[in-house]
A and B are shown apart, each in its own frame.
Chain A
């Protein structure tokens, strides 16, 4: 049995449980790290949305000398342009999270659709789509992103699109195998026999079944997207008109913060990224674990290896 094509038994339990809230709470109790992750995420989302209103200084406001040291007025010091780093972190949260969410949503939409179509219709369509997916899986992702960003322009929009275009493969594979399982379920067969259209079946039966898994995957994808945005910005290929956490690291690096000893310009954005990514991973991993316990390979492997499962085995009838 290959890694990812595991059947989803606990989901039926979830469906049978008394109330959504109760099951959510029991989920949280079983997976405390998910709760922690969730709280952290909410905190950052709050900062991202409302932060700019109470950030102490402006995003472009020079308030002191280059690489000013941390002080009472500026607890995290100043960056290479004399701008308050704490404020920059707050403004940057918005950009980073937007790119993360948007990229993941694009990946989910594209990957989810392809997975559903592939899994539901099977046959030649399935084959063709999966071969395409396999090709995308072997593309070196960061390299491709660099090439596209530098050739087609550096903008948030491009980064989001690229993230989506490269990472839909995860979704596609996973969703496809789940859709295959759901398609064989009794109530689907009954609906087909009754003459329901494909569209209706997909929307009324398939999607609700796979939605939780889709969501869990999307959450993990956000972490990935944030990581990539940071990498791209670091290489100087990010959107020049916005400040993201990745850009903060790049600014410090290219203006010799290390030789200057200005650790305050480097450490905070990196730590912020790490915390957010960890939080997303905690939530997403816990969700996926509870939905797909037989997953034997860790999710960490996804990032670098885009684990390509072995030739699929049809689930036993």
Chain B
């Protein structure tokens, strides 16, 4: 009986609370449901900028995490020598200036002298040298995550507190773009935990002392992988301080929850808006929608391993060409991206201009022409309408579809319907991303089993990384196609050390031509990035580039 009474009281209390509790929670400074008003230009200092996201930062430790949100956090909380500006050009960040030796192998950076870590200790070139040497030493092991950004470096030296000297074993062409993600760690925090053979680097918890010791505009005050992470203003920041006091990053499981929070005034901005909802929100006067380019691309990896035994018809460039012509990019962009995308035909997006090869055309959707190519190549249709290769191999393929790619079900369905008209049948094998990658490399990274996949890439601005995924030495590393072409590799190594941008561009264009002939990928569409801001914030002119550059906190402000 008592239980009943207690229960009823509890329910009553809850009901009262729910009824009384208002909608938007009050927050300091910014936030609250935005009411109209454009950017008046008047700046109100302070406040906390609340950003919502549906991906999540997996770890605060740069040797462990690899999600794009983690990169955003590191970019805002650790010093970097250089950064990209809003036009994707490299500018100095912590470094004021730099010079290169005549052979291009030695780089000398002059860094700002007045930076302090969030615990008050000064940021000096010694920290950079320590971090660099750490990665050089353990780059094949525990420090592998940071290794690409200082690839080919052999030693880091700090002759004085504001000078950093990096020595490379060859004249690397993209030193600066790579250094954009070289996060400089505090020596006094990391050195004690290195552990035997660097093992401690992997198990290091940067939050173990309560808060992170950060050296950027912010430091991480609280970190929750699946909740809210708050980064707070670092008083010792080495350049223009941000207007805001802190930034919060809240993770949501799905877009609906996140947008409900935005509408309810619990968020100020979201990093990506699902394309299905963009049109709705663009009509809402309380919010500004920012639409821009991103380097997110949908692609179809095709098993291009010359040694494979099954479905060798997939090695025929004519077949791959026909497949390319039978991808209805327009319908995909309309249905999957709700119109917010552009068709592409090469591995590099316009974000990497001028390196993207604009001479390679996007094939028009032409089923008849595709059928003709297959007919002329001698692939006859069987009694069930499915084409058969000369070795008896039916055009009946399995497509690996990782479950974390947005809209992948729809994409697959569209492909299935289009290719059915070519006499091709495809079935989906949906796996999580780890299993998908394993399935592509199966067995044991020999790339013998898989036929095709659908996936996405988010490339960097510098073309080096995206070009490198089809190298022979990436089999078992980043390769999801099993492609290996020594001629291509040779060109890759050349562009890596060609310092003249025009010459480098020529080589990179040539590499894309080769890829276009061999078609390890069919490149489908580039997604537009869509973010939304409440109108009580000003200075937000670009959608967030997902870790590709620092967010301009010196401009972003609450409207006064």
Contact = CB atoms under 8 A, between A and B. Distances in A.
A67 interface: yes
Contacts of B280: 259-260
Interface stretch (A13-21, A120-128, A183-191, A248-256): A248-256
A195 B429 CA distance: 55
Contacts, number: 60
B503 interface: no
Contact of B256 (A67, A154, A256): A256
A82 B409 contact: no
Contact of A80 (B276, B403, B412, B416): B276
B178 interface: no
A240 interface: yes
Nearest to B255: A256
Nearest to B408: A240
Chain B interface bracket (under 10, 10 to 19, 20 to 34, 35 or more): 20 to 34
A9 interface: no
Contact of A60 (B277, B407, B413): B413
A132 interface: no
Contact of A256 (B276, B409, B431, B432): B276
A224 B431 CA distance: 26
A62 interface: yes
B256 A66 contact: no
B232 interface: no
Contacts of B274: 255-256, 259
Interface string A55-92: 00000101000110000000000001110000000000
A240 B409 contact: yes
Grouping DSSP codes into helix (H, G, I), strand (E, B) and loop, the A interface class, with mixed when no group exceeds half, is loop
B407 A255 contact: yes
A258 B256 contact: yes
B97 interface: no
A124 to B, nearest CB: 42
A255 B429 CA distance: 20
Interface residues of A, number: 23
A26 interface: no
Contact of A81 (B259, B335, B403, B427): B335
B254 interface: yes
A240 B411 CA distance: 12
A154 B427 CA distance: 12
Given A260-B276, A260-B280, A254 B413 contact: no
Residue among B274, B280, B413 with the highest chain A CB neighbour number at 10 A = B413
B377 interface: no
A150 interface: yes
Interface string B410-430: 101100110000000001111
Contact of B432 (A81, A150, A240, A253): A150
Interface of A: 60, 62, 66-67, 80-82, 150-151, 153-154, 236, 240-241, 251, 253-260
